Structure 1
Amino acid sequence: MSWRTLGKAALPDTNSINHPNVSLIDRVDHIGIAVRSIASAVPLYRDTFGGTLMYGGDDRRLGIRSVVYILASFKVEILEPLSSESYLADFIERHGEGFHHITLTVDDVSKTISDLTKSGFEVVDTDLSSRELWQETFIRPSSGFGCLIQIVKTPISWDEQHPTMTIEQVLNGEWLWWQSQIWHETMLPEDYPF
């Protein structure tokens, strides 16, 4: 017996709800988990939960390392600070390890920002630069009911496993994020700034 057949106490069928902003979000892409050590988190997400490594790398500009595992059909991004000066190190110091953010994809980040601000939600750290591969903004946790919400537009499907990357290579710092792409350290373009 499903909850929809429980008689007068049953909840309405949410598939029929017609809300003006239902199409604002394309999908939930992933959640981010802040940890002190990705190597320590791998046994839980890979070995216990059966996750598959999708991709990962170091973002030297932000001072973080990240790996993405897919669990069933849901992605989890595990984030580790690379230095004590990283924003993520500060986050872990203040809040401890755990939930960091949720990422939602949209068709139009500018329109989403407009809709959010009209509704009274504060957005921060917006990047709508000419990067066609990744545009983003964040709903501040104080405005997002305690959650950092990342809003992203990207033409790239991040749902495919990298064909050659290993967790050992990521943990050794061999893969790097730059210009919204993942590069092996031996294949970096000449203008890579770090």
Structure 2
Amino acid sequence: MELHHVGIAVTDLEAAARPYLELGYVREAEGTVESQGVRVVMLRSGSSRVELLEALRPDSAVARFIEKRGPGVHHLAFHTPDIRAALARLEAQGAPLVDREPRPGFGGHLVAFVHPRWAGGVLVELVQE
């Protein structure tokens, strides 16, 4: 699997985007994922993507993350052509899945998360475009 993007939890999307835009990144997409309670800006430079996540409500996972740890790297996301097969393989290997079934994510992609304890404290997201 290739790295799809790095997800960063932020408190202000516009302020957080500024340094990346100054580095030459461009806004690839932006919008909301109501089911996850976040506003998203996807920035891209070549094949590199940074996803900025701002909480829409205090009970969202991103809001809880920021409350506990402060703004910063939230997850690493990896592209997979078959998310269900990837989840089945990881589960068979004993990976602690947050999602046993994929769910709708930003941009209409299917996503699923693997618990941070599997990857040394890093939340892993699988993305099927």
User: Smaller-chain TM-score range?
Assistant: 0.7 to 0.9
Structure with the higher strand share, 1 or 2: 2
TM-score, with length taken from structure 2: 0.86
Aligned to 1:116: 90
Q: Give me the whole-angstrom Cα distance separating, in 2, the residues matched to 1:79 and 1:144.
A: 21
The unaligned stretches of length 5 or more in structure 1 are 1-24, 155-194
Q: Give me the whole-angstrom Cα distance separating, in 2, the residues matched to 1:95 and 1:129.
A: 25
Amino-acid identity (%)? 29
Aligned length: 126
2:72 pairs, out of 81, 95, 98, with 98
Instruction: Specify the SS of the correspondent of 1:99.
Output: strand
2:63 pairs, out of 89, 97, 103, with 89
| Aligned CA-pair RMSD | 1.9
Q: Give me the whole-angstrom Cα distance separating, in 2, the residues matched to 1:32 and 1:61.
A: 17
What pairs up with 1:21-170 in 2 under 5 angstroms?
Answer: 25=1, 27-47=2-22, 49-128=23-102, 134-154=109-129
Q: Give me the whole-angstrom Cα distance separating, in 2, the residues matched to 1:111 and 1:60.
A: 26
- Asked whether the equivalents of residues 83 and 89 of structure 1 are also in contact (C-alpha less than 8 Å), the reply is yes
Larger radius of gyration: 1
Structure with the higher helix share, 1 or 2: 2
* CA drift at 1:68: 0.7
TM-score, with length taken from structure 1: 0.59
